Structure 1
Amino acid sequence: MLLVGGLALLKAIDDGWTAWDAFQATRTLADPQASVEEQRAAAANLALTAALEAAEPDDLLPVGLPRDDLVRLGLVGSVRDAGDGIKNIARIDPWKVRFSQDSISYHFKDKALGTIDDLAEKLRSGKINPTDVPPIRITEIDGKLFTLDNRRLEAFRRAGIEIPFRWATPEELAREQWKFTTINEGSTIIVRGQP
């Protein structure tokens, strides 16, 4: 009797684990706030769930072992970690992010980007894909989001397009602490050299 109860428990754990992971992956795919990385991992999780559950021979037995779940988690972790260009990058409404500086130059240091208005126009017209622009780095201070990359933020605001972002590292924040010169909590910024 104890053996039958143990086998039933293993089967319930196996089926429950799979159902819970599928439910969470579906929620992630439906979440508009989920990052590209999270959505790709969720899609991989659902695809692997279907494939591994279909191929699992122990479904015919009264006991289930979570081998497929362990393999799936390992593969999803690989998808999640793949590609430095995707990891920890998401998009945000540029009006939800504040400026760290009180003023910026109208011209980018990278001459290929030109001016703030040049980049904004290329974004609006589709000549530049937002994902081709390096993500801005943001941090949260007292519940407010601030960027270390003020010119790009201004260009995306002018273009009216969501901006790619990632969280700034502690090293970046320490190295660029000098940028926090805003005198109005980052709500506006002065653009120097603008015609």
Structure 2
Amino acid sequence: MDPWGLSPVSPKTVLFSQDDISPNFSDKRSMNELIYRLKNDPSYINQVEPIRKVRLTDLPTNIQERLISQGANKHSVFTLDNRRLYAAKEAGIKSMPSVWATKSDLKSINLNNRFTTQTGGKGIKGRC
């Protein structure tokens, strides 16, 4: 186990927390640029900030119930970093760095606003 808490995860096993994503990161970089770079150099994923994951069971009860009603199961794992997960999935990355979200991460996020998925996290749409 990595002393920093990093663990590799298959992007296929992590679900999205939102129903749509912006095509750009907060620093104005394009998500398509990241997808292109990952397709051409899959090892670049190790230079990308790890995604933060959260277990369904670590979420508030109202969010758990909503996600379960959409088809998620009690063992589901969701990301708080939807664009990076989307880019990795689109690029065909088999394994990517991840960390478990901390209690302070979860407290600092309005989880009701973050968990907007309507598909139990199975899919996500890009905004234009």
Does the pair score TM above 0.5? yes
1:29 counterpart residue number: none
2:48 counterpart residue number: 133
Say yes or no: does 1:115 pair with 2:13.
no
Say yes or no: does 1:187 pair with 2:122.
yes
1:57 counterpart residue number: none
Unaligned runs of 5+ in 2: 57-73
2:20 counterpart residue number: 103
- C-alpha contact (below 8 Å) 1:122/1:128 kept by paired residues: no
1:58 counterpart residue number: none
Q: Number of paired residues?
A: 108
How big is the alpha-carbon RMSD for the aligned residues of Structure 1 and Structure 2? 1.6
Mapping of 1:1-195 within 5 angstroms? 35=1, 37=2, 80=3, 87-111=4-28, 114-126=29-41, 129-141=44-56, 142-161=74-93, 162-176=95-109, 177=111, 178-193=113-128
**Structure ranking higher on relative contact order (CA contacts 8 Å, 6+ apart):** 2
Task: Give the Cα separation in 1 of the matches to 2:40 and 2:51.
Answer: 21
Match of 2:120, SS state, is coil
Aligned-residue offset at 1:128? 6.6
Unaligned runs of 5+ in 1: 1-34, 38-79, 81-86
Task: Give the Cα separation in 2 of the matches to 1:125 and 1:151.
Answer: 18
Aligned-residue offset at 1:101? 0.7
Aligned-residue offset at 1:174? 2.1
- Give the structure-1-normalised TM-score: 0.52
Task: Give the Cα separation in 2 of the matches to 1:129 and 1:89.
Answer: 16
Task: Give the Cα separation in 2 of the matches to 1:179 and 1:131.
Answer: 25
Greater helix proportion: 1
Task: Give the Cα separation in 1 of the matches to 2:106 and 2:47.
Answer: 23
* Residue identity (%): 37
- Give the structure-2-normalised TM-score: 0.78
Aligned-residue offset at 1:91? 1.3
